[in-house]
Structures are given as C-alpha cells and as structure tokens.
Amino acid sequence: MSFRVLVAALTLITLLGLAPSPVTSLTPSGQHAKWTMPRTGWGDPDLQGVWSFSADTPLNRPAEFEGRAFLTDEEAAHRVGITAQLRFNRDNRLSATEAGPAGLEGAGGNYNRFWTDPKRTSRQTSLVVDPSDGRVPPLTPKANHWLAEVDRLRAGTPMDAPTPGGFVQDLGPRGLFTRCILGFNSGPPMAPQSYNENVQIFQTPNHAALLNEMVHSVRIIPLDGRPQLSKDIRQWVGDSRGQWDGNTLVVTTTNFTDQVFDFGRTRPRGSGLILVEKFTRTAADTVLYQFTITDPVWYTSPWTAQLPMAPSSGPLYEYACHEGNHSMPNILAGALK
C-alpha cells in the first residue's frame, strides 16, 4: 500500500470515528419507547458509567425557531451537516464569539475545531426549556449595573488579565477557568462547550459521585438526608445533597462562593445561587440531565435547561491544566518580550 493510499484510509477512519452520532430521538416529554430501567444491587436506578454531555444545541432559542421547542427531521439533519462541516474545516479557527475558550484566536498555538469534541444533535431548539420562549431570563438591574461597572473598570485591559486597581480580586471575565479553578463546562451546572464534555457517575446506597473530565473536579453527594453545611462554609462547586424522586436523582446544591462561573464569564454574588439538577435514565443509551437555576440577585426569574447525555465511547482522561504545563516558562518569557 502506497503512503498516499495509507494516509487517505487513516483520514477516512478518523472522520468516521469523530463524526456526530445520529440524532437523538427524544420526545417532548423526555422519554423513549418501551424500555426496562436497570437497577443497582440495592434497587436504585443505575446511572453509572461515563456520559457525554456534548451537544450542538444552543443555550438560547434562535429567533428562527420562535415558538417551537423541537426541530423537524429536516432541520435536525441540516444541523448535523452544518456541525460536521464546521468541525472538519481545519482552517476554520475558533472565533471570539464562540463558546468555550474563545478570545484566544490571536494567541500562538490556538486550536481549530478539529480538536473540539464531536457534537451530538438533539431535536431541541434550545437547551433552555423554561421559560417557554427557550431563553435565559433577563438579568436584574443589580446584575446589569455590576457588569457595566466591570466593563468601565476593565477598559483597555486584556481579556484574561486581572482587573487593575480596586477590582484586583476579580480575575477577569473568565478568571476561574483561565486559572484552572473551575472548568468552563463542568459547572455546576454542566453545559456543553468545546471539549472534555464527559462526566462519570458512581453510586453507592448512601452516596453518588460526579467526576468531570474537565479540571477533574468531583462532587461527592450524600443521599442519606443529612442537612446542608453551614452557610458560612462555601465552596467553588457548592455543597450538594441528593435524593431519589421515583427514578430521578435530584441534586440540590447551595453554598457557592461569592464568585461563580456563569456561562462564559465570572460573576459575583454566587452565594445566593440555588442549583437543582435532575438525572433520569430514559433509555439504555440516554441519561436526561436537567438543571434549574434560582438566583434572584442575578436573574429576574428561575430558569431550566436540559439535554440528553449519551454513553461515552471511552474512559475519562486526565486533564492537567496549568499545573502540568511544562511550557509555561517559555510562554511567560515570550509575553515579556
């Protein structure tokens, strides 16, 4: 076999392996056809395994789908085609307006879409399912005032630089994930963005654990009815408690720190955030993930998003972030020149 033929064959294998999976046939109720729920040895619904929350569904419903919660078959097929076309255009680099680690398009070594995860397509027109318009509710006046003040104080400051002067505790709009404190898609809540969009679920009779591939964060969730921690004890990923509601694992998380990562940027006043996540096994190949955010200081009303998670074809991999970045001295040296 010639070298050219070998390269062509390997390229075809790669494209087939990385192509988006078929459209998820999720009904408006989030349920599939006849199917028997798997159970753990102690009788709880079995959610265990590595699940991918990758998706090409936008958070907010585009104007073209106003009033519609689901795509038609033709629209879903079109979305699959567009997603594949973007992914395999290796010269089409991520722009500053895209989700994930954007704003780095001028940096040396920035990746193109080939290195992002394959995106699965569902028939949802948006991840947001409540409010019924499929869009995140407006921010409160306090939130808008804070964002405007940050923009004023950060005028002329690079995207990932700390804010000078009195805002030094602000690490920049994306400081938490740029500093490897939190992953930009692992949350909580989890949301599809770019890469490492996998979570491994473990269960015991009294605990569940969520291990995210991004920044290898893990949440140990008691299921034994114990109370939340004191409000004085706050954590980056909050304090989670779980319970079963029929076949659904309901996880309530409070006690976030004053800074949380909120779908693209770091913002304050996370201490009032209440997050309720629901995990429901709806088919052998699907866990429906739903989350509701209640934060009256930041949002004018609560809102809910959902997406189907599919089994991952492989295990979780180590995500080293900056603490494993041996090229950091050279990167910093180049910035000084």
> Can you give the residue range of the structural domain that contains 70?
3-335
The pLDDT, as a whole number, for residue 255 is 95
What residue ranges in the chain does DSSP mark as E strands? 49-52, 128-130, 198-203, 207-212, 218-222, 239-245, 248-254, 260-261, 266-267, 274-283, 286-294, 303-311
Average pLDDT over residues 316-337: 71
pLDDT band at 201 (very low <50, low <70, confident <90, very high): very high
Q: Tell me: the pLDDT tens digits for 86-120?
A: 666 545 554 444 433 333 333 344 555 666 777 78
Average pLDDT over residues 227-236: 92
Is the predicted pLDDT of residue 314 greater than 50, yes or no?
Answer: yes
Count CB-CB contacts under 10 A for residue 30.
Answer: 16
Higher pLDDT, 179 or 98: 179
**283/146 Cα distance (integer angstroms):** 43
Is the predicted pLDDT of residue 286 greater than 80, yes or no?
Answer: yes
**139/296 Cα distance (integer angstroms):** 9
Average pLDDT over residues 127-147: 95
Report the domain count for the chain.
Answer: 1
The pLDDT, as a whole number, for residue 273 is 94
Out of 25-39, 251-265, 283-297, give the one with best mean pLDDT: 283-297
Is the predicted pLDDT of residue 205 greater than 90, yes or no?
Answer: yes
**135/138 Cα distance (integer angstroms):** 9
Is the predicted pLDDT of residue 33 greater than 70, yes or no?
Answer: no
Percent of the chain with pLDDT over 90: 49
pLDDT band at 181 (very low <50, low <70, confident <90, very high): confident
Is the predicted pLDDT of residue 135 greater than 80, yes or no?
Answer: yes
Percent of the chain with pLDDT over 70: 76
